[in-house]
Amino acid sequence: MLNVNKDLFGEVDGEKVWLFTLRNSQGMAVKVTNYGGIITSCLVPDKEGNLADVVLGFNELRGYLGDHPYFGAVVGRYANRIGGSKFTLNDVEYHVTQNEGKNHLHGGNRHFGNVVWTAEEIKDDSAVGVKLTYFSKDGEEGYPGNLEATVAYRLNNDNELSVEYEAVTDKPTVVNLTNHSYFNLRGEGSGDVLEHEVEINSKLYTPVDDGLIPTGELASVSNTPLDFKSPAKIGARFDQLEQGYDHNYVLNNGGDELSFAARVFEPQSNRMVEVFTTAPGMQFFTAGNLDGSIIGKAGQPYEKYAAFCLETQHFPDSPNRPEFPSATLNPGETYRHKTVFKFSV
């Protein structure tokens, strides 16, 4: 049976923060808070029907109020990086917050993952969920335009978690929204993900400079450690990489229709997640930033490579790369992006 429950999670600056629990008839349960649109928990059955929480995070709101690497959050206005923390629109140069060296990462300091969104429950015959809305004022973190963003999470009885993003603006701006969940299909806190098997529906990726800003080239994944056209273990080619994976893949999709982007399988539990999206790109990240200093929900430290992320998105630095798919949003237009995570065994 599909249902959604709402519980008080805490307060931020006098605003109530809620935790919404979405449940289906298969035993799957997803918890989402209107603080940052964060997915705090995702319980998924294994081959024996045993549930495990497959996303990294915290049990209490205070964990998310501290310094953490965007666990489960909606990131924006611009997910990923903008080189030199500036871009030009209609001959006007805009400067956004420098928060990663000289570059801009994931929307700056006041990003969409650390603000309180307005929330309303969604329930119909096919799914339950929560719709979140945030009004980002003109000039926030340097971005032009008053932007109204909405993110709708829905869970159905096929163990599909869909995330639909929309945004409108009153001035030309740039938008790139994604969810930054850290997955471990064996269960959060259960060790590294190097034995997980990955398939990515992509022939090309965007090479980057030392600051992880794309060079503008679209390069073939063939004969590189980035080739996941056929399934391979995450850790199989780590000896050819310095910090694991943190790469943007060019997806083989047509734009407006959902298409297959990736599949990850965990052989011990037999859990699998498939990703379908309308986005032109996907950042595959294997959490080389974790170092054991963060203690997770089960009381275990999150060590290096304890998770993987599949961030469906526009390409990094697209505002400065006219040859990339455009991330510009004009008044009268609606930014739309949908991603579905389908869990199975």
Q: What is the mean pLDDT of each run of 10 residues along the chain (345 residues)?
A: 97 97 97 98 97 98 96 98 98 98 97 98 96 98 98 98 98 98 98 98 96 96 98 97 96 82 98 97 98 96 98 98 97 97 98
pLDDT of residue 309: 98
Residue type, 99: N
Q: Which residues contact 139 (CB under 8 A, 6 or more apart)?
A: none
The region that residue 34 occupies, defined by phi over 0 for left and psi between -120 and 50 for alpha, beta otherwise, is: alpha
pLDDT of residue 255: 67
Q: How far out from the chain centre does Cα 249 lie?
A: 14
Say which of 68, 104, 311, 337 is annotated catalytic: 311
Q: Is the pTM of this model over 0.85?
A: yes
51, 43 in Cβ contact below 8 A? Answer: yes
* Residue 216 in tokens: 């503008």
CATH code, 184:
2.70.98.10
Long-range Cβ pairs for the range 25-30 (8 Å, 24+): 25/1, 25/157, 26/157, 26/159, 27/51, 28/155, 28/159, 28/343, 30/153, 30/155, 30/161
Say which of 68, 104, 111, 180 is annotated catalytic: 180
The total domain count for the chain is: 1
Helix (H), strand (E) at residue 61: helix 61-65
pLDDT of residue 253: 67
Domain range spanning residue 205?
A: 3-344
Instruction: Tell me whether residue 311 is one of the annotated catalytic residues.
Output: yes
Instruction: Tell me whether residue 180 is one of the annotated catalytic residues.
Output: yes
Give first-to-last CA distance, the chain, whole Å. 20
